[in-house]
Amino acid sequence: MTQDPLNGGESRLERGRRALADIDGEAGERVVVALADIAPDFATYLFEFPFGDIYSRPGLDLRSREIATVAALTAMGTAEAQLKVHIEAGLNVGLGREEIVETIMQMAVYAGFPAALNGLFAAKAVFAARDADNREDAA
C-alpha cells in the first residue's frame, strides 16, 4: 500500500474505504466479501479509483456526486444493482426522495422513458426497503 504524500499520507485504498464508508456504511465491505472468491483484486480497484481518487476530490460535495451518479446509472439503463446502491447512498448523504425521483425523471429526456422507468422502479424498491427497515426498528 503506497502512501500518498499529497493526501496526508493516506493511501488511495484507505481514502477510498473511508469515502465509501462515509457514503454507504458497510456497503464496501459487503462488496469485498461478495468478490472474494471470484475477483478479490477488483474490490481494491473499486475502492481506489472511484472512491479514493474521484469521490475524494474537492469541488463537489457528496450530495452533488450522488445526484450525478444516480443520473448516470439511470441513463445507462443496465445497472440496476449499482443504481439501488447509489439511491441508498444519496439518501445517506442527505438527498431527499423527491430529489432522487426528479433526477431520475430528468433522465427520460436524455436516456428515454425505459431507462427512467427502470430507475423509478429501482427507487421505489429502495424506498420500500428503507420504510420496512424503519418500521422494524420502530417495533
Superfamily of domain covering 61-139:
AhpD-like (1.20.1290.10)
Residue 124: what residue type? Answer: K
CA–CA separation, 77 vs 120, rounded Å?
11
111 CB contacts (<8 Å, ≥6 apart)? 74, 75, 76, 77
Supply angle C-alpha 88, 112, 86, rounded to 5. 10
CA 15/CA 50 separation, integer angstroms: 10
Domain residue ranges of the chain, discontinuous segments joined by +: 1-58, 61-139
pTM equals 0.86
By three-state DSSP, how is residue 74 classified?
helix
Phi and psi angles of residue 45, each rounded to the nearest 5 degrees, phi first? -60, -40
pLDDT in tens, the chain (139 residues): 455 545 567 899 999 988 888 888 777 788 888 998 999 899 889 889 999 999 999 999 999 999 999 999 999 999 999 999 999 999 999 999 999 999 999 999 999 999 999 999 999 999 999 999 888 877 7
